[in-house]
Chain A
Amino acid sequence: DTEVTQTPKHLVMGMTNKKSLKCEQHMGHRAMYWYKQKAKKPPELMFVYSYEKLSINESVPSRFSPECPNSSLLNLHLHALQPEDSALYLCASSQGSRGREKLFFGSGTQLSVL
């Protein structure tokens, strides 16, 4: 199994809603990542988890709250989002986070905030 699975594929939410994005991998990878990507732009790193601990937070607003319940699962909790947060949210994983391993990406969640 060389897949990173993200659910849901599409999400529409209002600015007062609370929702969660889910990411799962069963490759035994110990590093997991959240990226945000606007249309026609490169992905921007949001968070990195290494061995289930948050190791990088790229100054992301607190309305985005990551969680890593176990080594296979990564969540992104969303609350009080703004319309400018509408984007494709990509999850990725790698064997480690020492800067030598290639990243495997999921197919993303397309988020629309109304």
Chain B
Amino acid sequence: AQTVTQSQPEMSVQEAETVTLSCTYDTSENNYYLFWYKQPPSRQMILVIRQEAYKQQNATENRFSVNFQKAAKSFSLKISDSQLGDTAMYFCALLTGKLIFGQGTTLQVKP
């Protein structure tokens, strides 16, 4: 069975600081993809970053980067220079044919 676990239901960070959201997963597949999606209060699901399991290099998108530890099945998201617009619920997701989401982490960026 495939599972995704986000152990931090809520987090907060001061504007301009750095925050890391944790995610662990479990799968028996060798070829899979991992994602972080952001869902702001508008409830639009927005893709933040994507990592292909066979690539060792960590994905980066502007202020967003991941720490992908394949052996440990860990996939954390680092947000640098946090902005008020980063306030949202963040979902880690595993794709192996079906997209499976973690329970989500609510991030509040404080001014």
Q: Which residues of A contact B (CB under 8 A)?
A: 33, 37, 40-43, 45, 48, 56, 88, 90, 92, 97-100, 102-105, 107-108, 110
Q: Which residues of B contact A (CB under 8 A)?
A: 31-33, 35, 37, 42-47, 50, 89, 91, 95-99, 101-104, 106
> Contacts A43-B45, A105-B44, A107-B44 known; A100 to B95 CB distance under 8 Å?
yes
Are A40 and B104 interface neighbours, CB within 8 A?
A: yes
The 23 listed contacts between A and B (C-beta, < 8 Å) are A37-B43, A40-B89, A40-B106, A41-B103, A41-B104, A42-B91, A42-B102, A43-B45, A43-B91, A45-B98, A45-B99, A56-B98, A88-B43, A99-B32, A99-B33, A99-B95, A100-B31, A100-B95, A102-B47, A103-B47, A103-B99, A105-B45, A107-B42
Cβ contacts under 8 Å, A102 to chain B: 33, 35, 47, 50, 95
| Least distance between B58 CB and chain A CB atoms (Å) | 17
| Least distance between B49 CB and chain A CB atoms (Å) | 10
| Least distance between B88 CB and chain A CB atoms (Å) | 12
- Pick from B43, B89, B98: contact of A108, CB below 8 A: B43
CA distance A80 to B102 in the complex (A): 30
| Least distance between B17 CB and chain A CB atoms (Å) | 25
| Least distance between A93 CB and chain B CB atoms (Å) | 12
Cβ contacts under 8 Å, A42 to chain B: 91, 101-104
Given contacts A42-B104, A43-B91, 10 further A-B contacts (CB under 8 A): A33-B99, A40-B106, A43-B45, A90-B45, A99-B31, A99-B97, A102-B95, A103-B95, A104-B47, A108-B44
Q: What residue in chain B is nearest A110 (Cβ atoms)?
A: B43
Cβ contacts under 8 Å, A88 to chain B: 43
Are B97 and A98 interface neighbours, CB within 8 A?
A: yes
